[in-house]
């Protein structure tokens, strides 16, 4: 059965026709798709665009996409209700889409029409997609703060100078030695935009010579989350802590967990879960970091994220260990913890 093919072969076998038709479409239309950081982009601006980028509120979020559906189908479809400025399809390492995309129109009307026309639209028999307004950015990163700045101090300054701050987290700066970076979350896009303007004008006494204020970039957000979750030393690992999925203690548990998840999916008629795992780094102290994704055909969105696995477990494949840790997490989400 297909379930025993390695993920790469599975995605290729199920996907060959879709990929071929995408290539033919690119050739025929001369459209160039650029892939960067796990997303493939058309336009931004598209060929022949003259003038400024479109105003705010012109982007829509598209979710619940079948994972072997590509731009050759999606762009003409979303182009049919209005002129596209940009189309971004989120991609997995193995060349499937991640189930969601963003379409930016040349006008707000285009975005409104796309929502009215395509929310709950069946792109395939039994596959209704979700289309809604793309959520506006509300998080800022402030880099280059003095290392002496404390959480309380920063809170006091921000409460005074800006409105609507919901949370503040402080991190060591990934870009500057001897500096801190703060992530600020605001109650609305408007509040965040106003705060960004005030902070950039920079009359705030927060030390640090060159303070840099930007919208929080998804890559940076992911990096900070990984850092927070990185096992620091074996003494921390014995601790209950780590916000990352914790590997099961006993090797035999691996097969049990996977069987349990398969049984649950069968019982709920969700189809067989497909695991993709990729080892991203190995720590000197014997931990491996895996990226994972689990696609369950009957579940609206794939699960993806990161998990740490101990290097020294006897004879288990590390990928199997990672799958077990992930399966435990998926079982919890589906409401059936072991």
Boundary-marking domain end, from 88, 110, 133: 133
| Same domain membership, residue 155 and residue 73 | no
Q: What is the pLDDT of residue 293?
A: 87
Residue among 122, 112, 6, 134 nearest 62 (CA): 134
What is the value of pTM for the model shown? 0.44
Mean pLDDT score, 242-260:
58
Q: Does the residue 125 lie in any domain?
A: yes
| Same domain membership, residue 145 and residue 125 | no
| Same domain membership, residue 295 and residue 224 | no
How many distinct structural domains can be found in the chain?
3
For 118-127, write each residue's pLDDT tens digit. 999 999 988 9
Q: Does the residue 237 lie in any domain?
A: no
Q: What is the DSSP letter of 54?
A: P
Q: What percent of the chain has pLDDT over 90?
A: 22
**CA quadruple 293, 95, 115, 297: dihedral, nearest 10:** -50
- Comparing 286 with 231, the larger pLDDT belongs to 286
What is the SS3 assignment for 121? coil
For 127-184, write each residue's pLDDT tens digit. 999 898 886 678 899 998 888 888 888 888 888 888 888 888 888 888 887 888 999 9
Residue 116 sits in a domain whose CATH number is 3.30.70.330
Q: Does the residue 215 lie in any domain?
A: yes
Q: What percent of the chain has pLDDT over 70?
A: 82
Question: Cis peptide leading into 85, omega within 30 of 0?
Answer: no
Q: Does the residue 244 lie in any domain?
A: no
| Same domain membership, residue 270 and residue 177 | no
| Same domain membership, residue 219 and residue 197 | yes
Q: What is the pLDDT of residue 207?
A: 57
| Same domain membership, residue 276 and residue 224 | no
Whole-number mean pLDDT of the chain? Answer: 80
For 207-249, write each residue's pLDDT tens digit. 555 788 998 887 777 777 666 554 443 333 333 333 345 444 4
| Same domain membership, residue 122 and residue 17 | yes
| Same domain membership, residue 155 and residue 129 | no
Which of 11-15, 68-72, 214-218 has the highest average model confidence (pLDDT)?
A: 68-72
Pairwise CA distance, residues 288 & 309, whole Å:
5
Boundary-marking domain end, from 210, 228, 246: 228
Residue among 41, 33, 20, 22 nearest 90 (CA): 41
Residue among 195, 96, 106, 179 nearest 145 (CA): 179
Q: How many CB atoms lie within 10 A of CB 177?
A: 7
Q: What is the pLDDT of residue 231?
A: 45
- Comparing 157 with 85, the larger pLDDT belongs to 85
Q: What is the pLDDT of residue 251?
A: 44
Q: Does the residue 202 lie in any domain?
A: yes
Q: What is the DSSP letter of 245?
A: B
Q: What is the DSSP letter of 137?
A: P
Mean pLDDT score, 193-214:
77
| Same domain membership, residue 262 and residue 316 | yes
Q: What is the pLDDT of residue 204?
A: 65
Q: Does the residue 107 lie in any domain?
A: yes
Mean pLDDT score, 251-260:
72
Residue 304 sits in a domain whose CATH number is 3.30.160.20
Boundary-marking domain end, from 96, 115, 133: 133
| Same domain membership, residue 75 and residue 13 | yes
Q: What is the pLDDT of residue 246?
A: 45
Mean pLDDT score, 40-62:
89
What is the SS3 assignment for 132? strand
| Same domain membership, residue 206 and residue 165 | yes
Q: Does the residue 90 lie in any domain?
A: yes
Question: What's the domain range around 160?
Answer: 139-228
Q: What is the pLDDT of residue 247?
A: 44
Residue among 72, 69, 63 nearest 118 (CA): 63
Question: Cis peptide leading into 45, omega within 30 of 0?
Answer: yes
Q: Does the residue 239 lie in any domain?
A: no
| Same domain membership, residue 144 and residue 125 | no
């Amino acid at each position: 059965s297909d379930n025993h093919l390695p993920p790469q072969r599975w995605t290729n076998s199920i996907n060959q026709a879709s990929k071929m038709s995408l290539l033919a479409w690119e050739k025929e239309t001369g459209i160039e798709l650029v892939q960067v950081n796990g997303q493939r982009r058309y336009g931004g601006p598209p060929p022949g665009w003259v003038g400024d980028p479109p105003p705010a509120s012109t982007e829509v979020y598209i979710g619940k996409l079948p994972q072997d559906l590509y731009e050759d189908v999606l762009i003409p479809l979303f182009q049919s209700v209005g002129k596209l400025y940009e189309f971004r399809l989120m991609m997995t390492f193995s060349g499937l889409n991640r189930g969601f995309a963003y379409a930016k129109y040349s006008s707000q009307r285009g975005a409104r029409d796309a929502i009215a026309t395509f929310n709950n639209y069946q792109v395939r028999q039994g596959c209704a997609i979700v289309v809604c307004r793309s959520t506006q950015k509300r998080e800022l990163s402030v880099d280059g703060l003095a290392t002496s700045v404390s959480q309380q101090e920063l809170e006091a300054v921000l409460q005074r100078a800006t409105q609507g701050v919901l949370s503040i987290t402080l991190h060591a700066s990934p870009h500057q030695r001897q500096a801190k970076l703060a992530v600020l979350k605001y109650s609305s896009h408007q509040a965040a935009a106003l705060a960004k303007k005030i902070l950039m004008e920079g009359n705030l006494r927060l030390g640090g010579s060159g303070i840099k204020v930007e919208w929080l970039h998804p890559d940076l957000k992911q990096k900070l989350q990984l850092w927070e979750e990185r096992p620091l030393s074996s003494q921390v690992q014995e601790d209950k802590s780590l916000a990352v999925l914790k590997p099961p203690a006993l090797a035999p548990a691996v097969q049990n967990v996977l069987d349990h998840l398969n049984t649950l999916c069968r019982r709920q008629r969700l189809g067989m879960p497909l695991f993709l795992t990729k080892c991203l780094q190995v720590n000197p102290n014997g931990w491996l970091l895996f990226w994972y994704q689990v696609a369950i055909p009957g579940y609206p969105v794939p699960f993806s994220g990161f998990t740490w696995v101990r290097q020294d477990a006897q004879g288990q494949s590390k990928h199997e260990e990672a799958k077990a840790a992930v399966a435990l997490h998926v079982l919890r989400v589906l409401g059936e913890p072991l």
